[in-house]
Amino acid sequence: MQIVIYTLLNYMNTCIKQDTNYEIAKCLLLNIQKISKMSLEDTALLCNVSVSTLTRFFRTVGFYNFSTIKRLLKNQEYPFDQNSFVNHHNSEEYIEDITQGLYRLENIDSEKLMNIAKWIDQAPHIYMLGYGDFHYQAAYFQNIMLYHGKLLEIIHQNEQFKPAKLEPEDMLLITSLSGKYVKNIETTLKKCKCRKILITQMNDMHSDFDCVLEMGINQDKNLDKYFIMRIYEKIISSYCFHKSGHIMASK
């Protein structure tokens, strides 16, 4: 669901004028919970546009067709546990959950992080896959890495990933906390000859990856977004440290 939401919000936030496509995006967002149960014709009627106009809009924002959106809306669970927001009146438990999660992250093997930094530096092309509900965190990571001179390309889950174009020194950075996304593209991954890095909560997914960063399972799923951001920040920090070493060595 979150890929659809972020895509539509991004379109609304960046479009030059509030035209028909803007109104379509707004209408879809306001009715996002029921779109997956509607037909294309009913959705077009809801948005007060023709079927052809709605179909063109989907392609404009990056979705192949209406069926793609319905599949994404059905397959992705709502990322936030609303009950846990209520339970967070107990601030001591909340702080303890954060403390334990950060302790695990701060003890990630520094050698792994430095290897990833070196591979990022060497990679002609880097693709991010599987981030799912953590679109904002992925976009933040992409933005900061570009500031440091490295372009990472985000591959949406609704796009067909083609491993044939990858070279051995290219890199895949895959975020799949539950491992479900990895299992869905397992056959495709086996065809990839490039370096593959995985960020996950699972401890049994080491095969077929050059490096696995395990962030551990959090009792509160709402905290995952903070810990994903922290892992990205640790990769950025390692990359900057790696690059600074190269600069010092060249002087």
Residue 205 backbone phi and psi in degrees, to 5: -125, 45
Q: Residue with structure tokens 């990630």?
A: 108
What pTM, to 2 d.p., does this model score? Answer: 0.76
Architecture of domain 90-250: 3-Layer(aba) Sandwich (3.40)
Tell me which amino acid residue 4 is. V
For residues 122 and 117, give the distance between their C-alpha atoms in angstroms, rounded to a whole number.
Answer: 9
For residues 238 and 244, give the distance between their C-alpha atoms in angstroms, rounded to a whole number.
Answer: 10
For residues 19 and 53, give the distance between their C-alpha atoms in angstroms, rounded to a whole number.
Answer: 12
* Rg, the chain, Cα only: 20
pLDDT in tens, 156-174: 765 567 766 788 899 999 9
The two tokens of residue 189 are: 């991954």
What lies within 8 Å, CB to CB, of 115 at 6+ separation is 210, 211
Residue 199's nearest CA partner among 233, 161, 228 is 228
Secondary structure of residue 211 in the 3-state scheme: strand
Residue 137's nearest CA partner among 12, 17, 229 is 229
Q: Angle 139-143-147 (CA atoms, 0-180°, nearest 5)?
A: 170
**Where does CATH 3.40.50.10490 sit in the chain?**
90-250
- Torsion angle of the four alpha carbons 25, 30, 34, 40, in this order, in degrees rounded to the nearest 10: -30
In this predicted structure, the answer to whether residue 8 has a pLDDT above a threshold of 80 is yes
Q: Which helix (H) or strand (E) holds 31?
A: none
Handedness of CA 106, 116, 110, 242 (dihedral sign): negative
pLDDT in tens, 131-148: 777 888 888 999 999 999
- Answer left, alpha or beta for residue 81, where phi above 0 means left and psi between -120 and 50 means alpha: beta
Weakest mean pLDDT among 25-39, 70-84, 85-99, 157-171? 70-84
**Where does CATH 1.10.10.10 sit in the chain?**
2-75
* Proportion of the chain above pLDDT 90, given as a percent: 43
Burial 218-248 (b: 16+ CB within 10 A, else e): bebebbbeebbbbbbebbbebbeebbeeeee
**If you average pLDDT over residues 7-21, what whole number do you get?**
88
Multiple choice CATH, 2-75, 1.10.10.10, 1.10.1200.10, 3.40.980.10, 3.40.640.10: 1.10.10.10
Give the DSSP per-residue string, 124-174. S-EEEE--TT-HHHHHHHHHHHHHTT--EEE--TTS---GGG--TT-EEEE
Weakest mean pLDDT among 62-71, 75-84, 89-98? 75-84
In this predicted structure, the answer to whether residue 216 has a pLDDT above a threshold of 50 is yes
Q: What is the mean pLDDT of the chain?
A: 85
**If you average pLDDT over residues 40-45, what whole number do you get?**
95
